[in-house]
Structure formats: C-alpha cells, structure tokens
Amino acid sequence: TKFSHVIIRRPGKSLSNGITSAPELGQPIYERAIEEHYDYEHALELCGVDVTVLPALEEYPDSCFVEDPAVITRCGAIITNPGADSRNGEKNEIEPVVRRFFDDEHVKHIVSPGTLDGGDVMMVGDHFYVGRSARTNEEGIRQFFEILEGWGLEGSEVPLEEVLHLKTGVNYIEDNNMLVSGEFIEKEDFAQYNKIVVPEEEAYGANCIWVNGTVIVAEGYPTVLKAVQDLGYKTLVVDTSEYRKVDGGLSCLSLRF
C-alpha cells in the first residue's frame, strides 16, 4: 500500500454541537480544534501525500470526520449512506470531491435502507473488515460487499458490541501489525495478526493511522507510541483532544488513498 492523496475538511464552529457519547469531556473549543487540524494537515504532508483541504460546513457539525461519508479503495470509491440523521447529507458534499479523482464507473453508492459509515471499514490489503454497528446495518454491509466483489475485492463482517465504529477500537498499521483494544483483543477475526494490545486506559490511542511507513499517533498515549516505535515505525504525534470530545480521532479526520 502507498497513499498519494488525502482529503480533509476543516472543522466549523458548529463542531461544538457534534454527536458525542462523552458529554462529560465538555464541548470542543473551536480555536483549539482548528490548531489541531493544522497540525494534522502538516503531519500528513510530512508523510509525502498530496493533501486536499475542504472548507468547513457549518450546517454539518461532524463534517470534518470525512472518513464516514466515503470509502476509497484502490479500485474505486463508495459514497456511503451515513447512519446518523444529522450526518447523512454529508454524502452529497463529499461526492463531487471524490469525483475529482474517479470517473463515473468507479464511483458506487450505498443506498437506503442500507446504511454504512466509513469509520466501520478497515482495509487490510484487498480485504475489508466491516463493523456492524449502530451506524452500519446488515443491508449496508451486503451492498458494500457486492460492490467490493465487482472490483475483485472482498470483505467480512465484524459485529460490534461496545464501540461507536470498528476503527474506534482496532486499526491496521500494515506489515501484519494490528492495534487492538477492548472487545477486539480476543476476537477470532484478528487472531492471524501480530496484535499490539492497547491497555484500557489508553483505548482512544488505538486509533492510529499508517501513512506511507509513518504511523501518526494521538498525543498522550505513551504505551501505544512506544509499542509502535518498538516495531520500527517512524512516528508523528498529533494532539486530537478536541475531536476526542465528540468521539473523533485520527482516522476519522481523513480519507487516504
């Protein structure tokens, strides 16, 4: 795998009204969130990708989490049908951007009653693990696999019990290495990988991203950082604490392809 492009979208002031499962963390502070976003963009540039930066969309508080309304594979792009009502319209905003990179026959759609969030999709080479979650339903997964099969790719379903999205708790950093936390530590689906077990108190840190040999790790998760460095990866650390307040992390903030 090698990525050439990354798409990100600036957060808006409405980010403070993003969906959250952790209101006790407080609302994101816009001024800090935008600083963190610049740092994130800079880290991606250091990984040698071309970064497309989209403008904020105040009408969609969670729209900086561009990973959810689209899934981009090496064979084509899938515009999803996001499972949260307040986010569903984000698919119409991301589609024209995705079409800058793919022609008509390489852009497919998940349609109602199927729903799917990109945060539930984890790419491991040509295999795609898809979490069945509160956002991603059985019909969405069925459509997704049908599209993949048309492109000679394949997928398998992973039922979720605790986390919002699949990649909230499990992330592949290439070379057979997988960061696992919580409910994913013992799952049979991932038994074949070299698992890096993330301790409960650092669970949020499991959401790392691999970009062309470098692993970007969230700031404040020393066990995760050391484990990734011990595997021989170059690392970059980015503070995503404002996004954490609305359940967002490193992977959700970009589309990488």
* Chain position whose Cβ is nearest to ligand CIR: 119
Residues forming a β-bridge with 197: 180
Please state, in angstroms and as integers, the Cα–Cα distance from residue 34 to each residue in 30, 43, 65, following that order.
6, 14, 13
Gap between the Cα atoms of 57 and 13, Å rounded: 9
CB 54 within 8 A of CB 8: yes
Gap between the Cα atoms of 218 and 225, Å rounded: 8
Q: Is 47 a catalytic residue?
A: no
Q: Identify the active-site residue in 37, 47, 165, 208.
A: 165
CB of 165 to ligand CIR, least distance (A): 4
Q: Is 252 a catalytic residue?
A: yes
CB of 200 to ligand CIR, least distance (A): 19
Residues forming a β-bridge with 120: none
Backbone angles phi, psi at 254, to 5 degrees: -155, 160
Alpha carbon dihedral 79, 83, 245, 247, in 10-degree steps, equals -70
CB of 82 to ligand CIR, least distance (A): 8
The strands making up 234-238's β-sheet, listed across from edge to edge, are 209-211, 214-218, 234-238
Among 158, 242, 244, smallest CA distance to 202 is for 244
CB of 104 to ligand CIR, least distance (A): 26
Return the number of the residue (32 or 226) whose C-beta is nearest ligand CIR.
32
Helices (H), the chain: 30-46, 90-98, 138-150, 166-169, 222-230, 241-244
Among 71, 163, 79, 159, smallest CA distance to 121 is for 71
Point out which residues bind ligand CIR (CB under 6 A): 18-20, 62, 65, 67-68, 84, 87, 119, 165, 167-168, 246-248, 252
CB of 230 to ligand CIR, least distance (A): 26
* Coil vs helix vs strand at 124: strand
| Active site members | 165, 252
